[in-house]
Chain A
Amino acid sequence: GENVEQHPSTLSVQEGDSAVIKCTYSDSASNYFPWYKQELGKRPQLIIDIRSNVGEKKDQRIAVTLNKTAKHFSLHITETQPEDSAVYFCAASRSNFGNEKLTFGTGTRLTIIP
């Protein structure tokens, strides 16, 4: 089955600086890579996703890159703000006609230092 590794487990950055979180996956058939943000005591929510036919996607201060050959993908947050503090999860999934499941990484606790 799929195995997703995520690094680092904790990350502290000064407000205004950039943050990068990296993930690797094992199943070369995985073709969907979402990122979820979970604030304290809240549910995980999708912030950005990328599919295997795209190498990079950007949405305002958030960007995701995908390297299919190396089987890794990264989340980039620029101009970080205090509200970016949360736990971030990467995930991977493969299309399987009703048998899809998201395999999550172990999470990164991001702390933005004012």
Chain B
Amino acid sequence: DTAVSQTPKYLVTQMGNDKSIKCEQNLGHDTMYWYKQDSKKFLKIMFSYNNKELIINETVPNRFSPKSPDKAHLNLHINSLELGDSAVYFCASSQGAGMNTEAFFGQGTRLTVV
């Protein structure tokens, strides 16, 4: 069973469109994240949720709106897509709550905006 799964794996869309990426973890973790990996491979945190509550928002444009219906899911909705949004987006989860432990990553979603 996949621990952290995200869909879709690939997403090609036109500028101006709105798209969503879904993420689910079956590890029972309290904390979930979205990371963005650009073409230079830099991994940068976007959001962190702990038990469905937004904890970290790293100055991401408000076109990006995360939603956590429960602590096992963290979805990412992007409005009015721009060329610069093209990247690989990784969802991750960890135990959190004061326990620095391993972050488990999903397989990534390669978003290409044309």
Chain A residues with a Cβ under 8 A of chain B: 31-32, 34, 38, 42-46, 49, 51, 87, 89, 93-104, 106-107, 109
Contact = CB atoms under 8 A, between A and B. Distances in A.
A44 B96 contact: no
Most-contacted residue by chain A among B43, B45, B50, B107 (CB, 10 A) = B43
B41 to A, nearest CB: 5
A32 B105 CA distance: 18
14 contacts: A32-B100, A34-B103, A42-B107, A43-B90, A94-B100, A95-B100, A96-B98, A97-B97, A98-B55, A98-B96, A99-B56, A100-B98, A102-B103, A106-B42
Nearest to B110: A41
B86 interface: no
Chain B: number of interface residues, binned into ranges: 20 to 34
Contact of A93 (B97, B100, B106): B100
Give the 9 A-B CB pairs with smallest separation, nearest first. Answer: A32-B100, A98-B50, A43-B105, A97-B98, A104-B43, A46-B102, A107-B41, A98-B97, A93-B100
Contact of B98 (A95, A107, A109): A95
B99 interface: yes
B96 to A, nearest CB: 5
Interface in B14-47: 30-31, 33, 40-45
Contacts of A99: 48, 50, 55-56
Given A38-B41, A98-B98, A102-B33, 13 more contacts: A43-B107, A43-B108, A44-B43, A93-B100, A95-B99, A96-B98, A98-B50, A99-B55, A99-B56, A100-B100, A102-B103, A104-B43, A106-B41
Contacts of B42: 104, 106-107
Contacts, number: 65
Nearest to B33: A101
B15 to A, nearest CB: 25
A100 B96 CA distance: 6
Contacts of A95: 98-100
Nearest to B103: A102
A107 to B, nearest CB: 5
Contacts of A89: 43
